[in-house]
Amino acid sequence: MSAWWSAWQDGFAGFAWPWAWALLPLPLLVRLLLPARRSSAAALRVPWGARLDTVAGTGITGVRGAWLLPVLAWVLLCSAAARPLQLGAAQVPPHEARQMLLAVDLSGSMSETDMELGGEVVDRLTAAKSVIADFLQRRAGDRVGLLVFGQRAYMLTPLTLDRDSVRMQLRDSVAGLAGRETALGDAVGLAVKRLREQPEGQRVLILLTDGVNTAGVLDPLKAAELAAAEGVRVHTIAFGGGSGYSLFGVPLPIQGGEEVDEDTLRQVAEKTGGRFFRARDTNQLAGIYAELDRLEPVKVAAAPVRPRIERYPWPLGAALALAIIAWPLQRTVRRGGGV
């Protein structure tokens, strides 16, 4: 019994309508304010009245403490009206989220002005920033990190729910910040190192580049093998390769621009179970990130929730039982005591 009561106290969540307890003194107020009823005392008392009661079968003059039953029933009725609540067992609802690293190429070729954004000619990095910022805007509840690479790879933002800090770091990044060359293999290797601490199935890298591997110590395909061994899925995006623009908006071929190594990027994606995408302009890049938006859903445990269970039927049932018991006793009290 004590264990049950202790469990009830631990799970008690209060009353949904606590103001209902204000009804508790209502019977006393009614008794004080309403006119007194006619007396039920005997109109005529005779010495042999008790004997007549015995003969008539009404010799019981009252039951001691019978008045407690209706009082207790009213208290229970007020308790039921206040709607007591109990906390149920903790439940963990499923929650879909994503945990991913965004790797952005900051090599010198990302400064090529062969992209159009909002009717204006911009460089590749500016176009990529705009699309990725919009992508991050829709990542509510996801943990996202930012990795940049050029001649070397750097981790700017670890996996975090603070998307504003990721957007700020991305906004402040400039082409050539990490060197003029491109170290694809090192970027994948650094991402694998940071993602291996995450649970399996949640290790995702989205890599955007516009060039070929020209620097670093790790070969991209070797890095892809390491990623596959660690369960890191890599989605690769080959960006750029469009036309440049002259001062008058006439498209001109880019001179000296490096072609994107699509074959290597495709192999990296295939080895790790990811997908390869090709984007030659801003609209195509936006479509790719919209596609990635539908990929990589991960069911993670949300905060446990304890449902509130209505317990008003218990005091209501107890009040009804006491009322049933008190009814015949009150009739007996009214019948006894005089002629």
Q: How far is Cα 282 from Cα 272, in angstroms, rounded to an integer?
A: 26
Per-residue pLDDT of 109-168, as tens digits, reads 888 887 888 788 888 889 888 888 888 887 777 788 999 998 889 999 998 888 889 989
Regions in the chain scoring below 70 on pLDDT: 1-11, 36-67, 91-97, 241-258, 295-304, 329-339
Q: According to the 3-state scheme, what is the secondary structure of 28-65?
A: HHHHHHCCCCCCCCCCCCCCCHHHHHHHHCCCCCCCCC
Q: What is the pTM of this model?
A: 0.58
Q: Residue 193, class by beta-carbon neighbours within 10 Å (0-12 exposed, 13-18 middle, 19+ buried)?
A: middle
Per-residue pLDDT of 279-292, as tens digits, reads 888 888 888 888 87
Which helix (H) or strand (E) segment holds residue 158: the answer is strand 153-160
Fold observed for domain 94-301: Rossmann fold (3.40.50)
Q: How far is Cα 207 from Cα 272, in angstroms, rounded to an integer?
A: 13
pLDDT at residue 57, rounded to an integer: 47
Residues of the chain within CATH 3.40.50.410 domain(s) are: 94-301
Cβ atoms of 128 and 285 within 8 Å: the answer is yes
Q: How far is Cα 182 from Cα 220, in angstroms, rounded to an integer?
A: 11
- List, in sequence order, every beta strand (DSSP E) within 212-284: 233-239, 244-245, 251-252, 276-279
Q: How far is Cα 198 from Cα 159, in angstroms, rounded to an integer?
A: 10
Q: Which two tokens stand for residue 128?
A: 């990529």
